[in-house]
A = this chain, B = another copy of it.
Amino acid sequence: MSPATPTPRSRRERPAKPALTGPGIVATAVGLMRSEGLERVTMRRLAQELDTGPASLYVYFRNTAELHAAVLDELLGEVDLGVTAAAAGPLGWRDRLARILSSYIEVLYEHPSLARSALVTRPRGERYLDLVEALLTVLAEGGMEGERAGWAVDLLLQYATATAAEHGTRRQADDTQEEWDALTETLRGARQDRHPRIAAAADQLVSGSPEARRTWALDVLLNGILTAPAPDGARG
Protein backbone atom coordinates (compact mmCIF):
# COMPACT_ATOMS: atom_id res chain seq x y z
CA MET A 1 0.00 0.00 0.00
CA SER A 2 2.67 2.51 0.91
CA PRO A 3 4.89 3.73 -1.87
CA ALA A 4 8.49 2.67 -2.04
CA THR A 5 9.70 6.21 -1.75
CA PRO A 6 8.59 7.65 1.59
CA THR A 7 6.45 10.72 1.25
CA PRO A 8 6.08 13.35 3.96
CA ARG A 9 3.17 12.54 6.19
CA SER A 10 1.26 15.64 5.36
CA ARG A 11 1.40 14.97 1.66
CA ARG A 12 0.18 11.45 2.07
CA GLU A 13 -2.86 12.45 4.13
CA ARG A 14 -3.93 15.33 1.91
CA PRO A 15 -2.90 14.03 -1.47
CA ALA A 16 -3.42 17.25 -3.34
CA LYS A 17 -2.85 20.00 -0.83
CA PRO A 18 -4.66 22.83 -2.58
CA ALA A 19 -3.11 26.25 -2.87
CA LEU A 20 -4.58 28.68 -0.40
CA THR A 21 -7.31 30.91 -1.75
CA GLY A 22 -9.81 33.09 0.04
CA PRO A 23 -12.89 31.09 -1.02
CA GLY A 24 -11.07 27.81 -0.44
CA ILE A 25 -10.20 28.78 3.09
CA VAL A 26 -13.76 29.85 3.81
CA ALA A 27 -15.11 26.58 2.42
CA THR A 28 -12.80 24.62 4.69
CA ALA A 29 -13.81 26.83 7.60
CA VAL A 30 -17.49 26.15 6.94
CA GLY A 31 -16.82 22.43 6.85
CA LEU A 32 -14.93 22.64 10.09
CA MET A 33 -17.79 24.56 11.67
CA ARG A 34 -20.30 21.97 10.55
CA SER A 35 -18.30 19.10 11.95
CA GLU A 36 -16.91 20.64 15.13
CA GLY A 37 -18.75 23.89 15.78
CA LEU A 38 -17.63 27.48 15.41
CA GLU A 39 -15.65 27.19 18.62
CA ARG A 40 -13.16 25.11 16.69
CA VAL A 41 -12.91 27.50 13.78
CA THR A 42 -9.82 29.15 15.18
CA MET A 43 -6.89 30.42 13.21
CA ARG A 44 -4.73 27.63 14.57
CA ARG A 45 -7.18 24.81 14.09
CA LEU A 46 -8.10 25.98 10.60
CA ALA A 47 -4.45 26.32 9.62
CA GLN A 48 -3.91 22.77 10.78
CA GLU A 49 -6.81 21.65 8.63
CA LEU A 50 -5.24 23.43 5.67
CA ASP A 51 -1.87 21.93 6.40
CA THR A 52 -0.17 25.22 7.07
CA GLY A 53 0.70 27.52 9.94
CA PRO A 54 -1.66 30.05 11.51
CA ALA A 55 0.37 33.01 10.27
CA SER A 56 -0.51 32.14 6.69
CA LEU A 57 -4.15 32.93 7.26
CA TYR A 58 -3.42 36.51 8.16
CA VAL A 59 -2.82 37.15 4.48
CA TYR A 60 -6.55 36.59 3.93
CA PHE A 61 -8.15 37.76 7.17
CA ARG A 62 -7.02 40.53 9.42
CA ASN A 63 -8.24 38.71 12.47
CA THR A 64 -10.53 35.99 13.72
CA ALA A 65 -13.58 38.25 13.64
CA GLU A 66 -13.12 38.76 9.91
CA LEU A 67 -12.78 35.06 9.37
CA HIS A 68 -16.01 34.42 11.21
CA ALA A 69 -17.72 37.17 9.25
CA ALA A 70 -16.73 35.43 6.03
CA VAL A 71 -18.08 32.13 7.34
CA LEU A 72 -21.34 33.83 8.26
CA ASP A 73 -21.76 35.34 4.84
CA GLU A 74 -21.21 31.96 3.26
CA LEU A 75 -23.84 30.47 5.53
CA LEU A 76 -26.32 33.19 4.66
CA GLY A 77 -26.45 31.67 1.21
CA GLU A 78 -28.80 29.13 2.76
CA VAL A 79 -31.44 31.67 3.72
CA ASP A 80 -34.52 31.13 1.62
CA LEU A 81 -35.33 34.31 -0.26
CA GLY A 82 -37.67 32.54 -2.65
CA VAL A 83 -40.77 34.29 -1.34
CA THR A 84 -39.42 37.77 -1.86
CA ALA A 85 -41.29 38.55 -5.05
CA ALA A 86 -45.00 39.19 -4.77
CA ALA A 87 -45.46 36.91 -7.76
CA ALA A 88 -44.06 34.02 -5.75
CA GLY A 89 -47.44 33.03 -4.41
CA PRO A 90 -50.58 34.02 -2.56
CA LEU A 91 -48.91 35.16 0.64
CA GLY A 92 -49.26 38.74 1.77
CA TRP A 93 -46.18 40.82 2.41
CA ARG A 94 -46.30 40.31 6.16
CA ASP A 95 -46.25 36.57 5.81
CA ARG A 96 -43.47 36.72 3.27
CA LEU A 97 -41.43 38.94 5.52
CA ALA A 98 -41.97 36.52 8.38
CA ARG A 99 -40.89 33.65 6.15
CA ILE A 100 -37.64 35.30 5.24
CA LEU A 101 -36.82 36.21 8.80
CA SER A 102 -37.75 32.76 10.04
CA SER A 103 -35.48 31.22 7.48
CA TYR A 104 -32.68 33.50 8.61
CA ILE A 105 -33.29 32.62 12.24
CA GLU A 106 -33.34 28.92 11.46
CA VAL A 107 -30.07 29.09 9.58
CA LEU A 108 -28.43 30.83 12.50
CA TYR A 109 -30.10 28.60 15.07
CA GLU A 110 -27.65 25.86 14.29
CA HIS A 111 -24.77 28.20 14.94
CA PRO A 112 -25.61 30.54 17.81
CA SER A 113 -22.02 31.61 18.23
CA LEU A 114 -22.05 32.85 14.67
CA ALA A 115 -25.15 34.86 15.49
CA ARG A 116 -23.30 36.33 18.43
CA SER A 117 -20.44 37.36 16.23
CA ALA A 118 -22.87 38.93 13.76
CA LEU A 119 -24.16 41.08 16.59
CA VAL A 120 -20.69 42.46 17.16
CA THR A 121 -19.13 42.62 13.72
CA ARG A 122 -21.77 43.93 11.38
CA PRO A 123 -21.96 41.67 8.34
CA ARG A 124 -21.55 43.24 4.93
CA GLY A 125 -20.91 40.39 2.53
CA GLU A 126 -22.78 39.72 -0.70
CA ARG A 127 -25.27 37.28 0.82
CA TYR A 128 -26.02 39.68 3.58
CA LEU A 129 -26.74 42.36 1.02
CA ASP A 130 -29.05 39.94 -0.77
CA LEU A 131 -30.93 39.49 2.48
CA VAL A 132 -31.23 43.22 3.11
CA GLU A 133 -32.34 43.77 -0.47
CA ALA A 134 -35.02 41.14 -0.05
CA LEU A 135 -36.30 42.70 3.15
CA LEU A 136 -36.43 46.14 1.55
CA THR A 137 -38.35 44.69 -1.37
CA VAL A 138 -41.01 43.14 0.80
CA LEU A 139 -41.26 46.17 3.06
CA ALA A 140 -41.73 48.40 0.02
CA GLU A 141 -44.65 46.29 -0.91
CA GLY A 142 -46.09 46.94 2.51
CA GLY A 143 -45.80 50.62 1.72
CA MET A 144 -42.63 51.25 3.67
CA GLU A 145 -39.78 53.09 2.11
CA GLY A 146 -37.05 55.54 3.00
CA GLU A 147 -36.05 56.00 6.59
CA ARG A 148 -38.79 53.88 8.05
CA ALA A 149 -37.84 50.92 5.91
CA GLY A 150 -34.12 51.35 6.52
CA TRP A 151 -34.50 51.46 10.25
CA ALA A 152 -37.02 48.65 10.16
CA VAL A 153 -34.54 46.36 8.43
CA ASP A 154 -32.03 47.08 11.13
CA LEU A 155 -34.46 46.40 13.95
CA LEU A 156 -35.87 43.24 12.38
CA LEU A 157 -32.43 41.80 11.75
CA GLN A 158 -31.28 42.73 15.21
CA TYR A 159 -34.23 40.89 16.69
CA ALA A 160 -33.64 37.83 14.55
CA THR A 161 -29.93 37.74 15.21
CA ALA A 162 -30.29 38.23 18.95
CA THR A 163 -32.93 35.51 19.10
CA ALA A 164 -30.66 33.04 17.38
CA ALA A 165 -27.77 34.04 19.62
CA GLU A 166 -29.91 33.55 22.69
CA HIS A 167 -31.91 30.46 21.97
CA GLY A 168 -29.89 28.69 19.31
CA THR A 169 -29.39 25.01 19.76
CA ARG A 170 -26.01 23.33 19.64
CA ARG A 171 -24.95 25.16 22.76
CA GLN A 172 -24.93 21.86 24.57
CA ALA A 173 -28.63 21.17 24.84
CA ASP A 174 -28.00 20.07 28.43
CA ASP A 175 -26.59 23.39 29.49
CA THR A 176 -29.42 25.31 27.93
CA GLN A 177 -32.02 23.13 29.62
CA GLU A 178 -30.29 23.39 32.96
CA GLU A 179 -30.07 27.15 32.65
CA TRP A 180 -33.72 27.41 31.73
CA ASP A 181 -34.74 25.31 34.70
CA ALA A 182 -32.62 27.45 36.97
CA LEU A 183 -34.24 30.60 35.64
CA THR A 184 -37.73 29.17 36.03
CA GLU A 185 -36.95 28.19 39.58
CA THR A 186 -35.55 31.61 40.37
CA LEU A 187 -38.68 33.31 39.05
CA ARG A 188 -41.06 30.96 40.81
CA GLY A 189 -39.12 31.41 44.01
CA ALA A 190 -39.24 35.20 43.87
CA ARG A 191 -40.09 36.57 47.27
CA GLN A 192 -43.50 38.10 47.75
CA ASP A 193 -42.12 41.08 49.60
CA ARG A 194 -39.41 42.14 47.22
CA HIS A 195 -40.64 40.91 43.84
CA PRO A 196 -44.39 40.47 44.13
CA ARG A 197 -45.08 40.93 40.43
CA ILE A 198 -42.50 38.39 39.42
CA ALA A 199 -43.88 35.96 41.95
CA ALA A 200 -47.36 36.48 40.52
CA ALA A 201 -46.34 36.35 36.88
CA ALA A 202 -43.55 33.76 36.97
CA ASP A 203 -45.43 31.38 34.74
CA GLN A 204 -46.21 34.04 32.18
CA LEU A 205 -42.58 35.09 32.07
CA VAL A 206 -41.48 31.67 30.89
CA SER A 207 -44.56 30.50 29.02
CA GLY A 208 -44.82 29.77 25.36
CA SER A 209 -42.73 27.85 22.87
CA PRO A 210 -39.92 29.62 21.06
CA GLU A 211 -42.06 29.53 17.92
CA ALA A 212 -45.07 31.11 19.59
CA ARG A 213 -42.88 33.84 21.01
CA ARG A 214 -41.24 34.44 17.68
CA THR A 215 -44.57 34.78 15.92
CA TRP A 216 -45.73 37.21 18.56
CA ALA A 217 -42.51 39.23 18.43
CA LEU A 218 -42.72 39.61 14.66
CA ASP A 219 -46.30 40.79 15.04
CA VAL A 220 -45.18 43.30 17.62
CA LEU A 221 -42.37 44.57 15.45
CA LEU A 222 -44.42 44.91 12.30
CA ASN A 223 -47.37 46.52 14.04
CA GLY A 224 -45.01 48.89 15.74
CA ILE A 225 -43.15 49.75 12.57
CA LEU A 226 -46.45 50.48 10.86
CA THR A 227 -47.88 52.64 13.63
CA ALA A 228 -44.91 54.40 15.22
CA PRO A 229 -44.22 57.91 13.94
CA ALA A 230 -41.92 57.89 10.94
CA PRO A 231 -38.36 58.35 12.05
CA ASP A 232 -36.42 61.45 11.15
CA GLY A 233 -32.76 60.61 10.79
CA ALA A 234 -31.78 64.16 9.92
CA ARG A 235 -32.86 65.20 13.37
CA GLY A 236 -30.59 62.77 15.23
Contact = CB atoms under 8 A, between A and B. Distances in A.
Given A137-B197, A183-B122, A222 B219 contact: no
Nearest to A125: B186
A208 B223 contact: no
Interface residues of A, number: 72
Contacts of A212: 231-233, 235-236
A111 to B, nearest CB: 13
A20 B124 CA distance: 47
Nearest to A207: B233
Interface of A: 112, 116, 119-122, 124, 129-130, 132-133, 136-137, 140, 145-147, 149-151, 153-155, 158-159, 161-163, 165-166, 171, 179-180, 182-183, 186-187, 190, 194-198, 201, 204-213, 216-217, 219-225, 227-229, 231-236
7 contacts: A120-B166, A146-B201, A150-B207, A159-B159, A207-B233, A208-B235, A216-B231
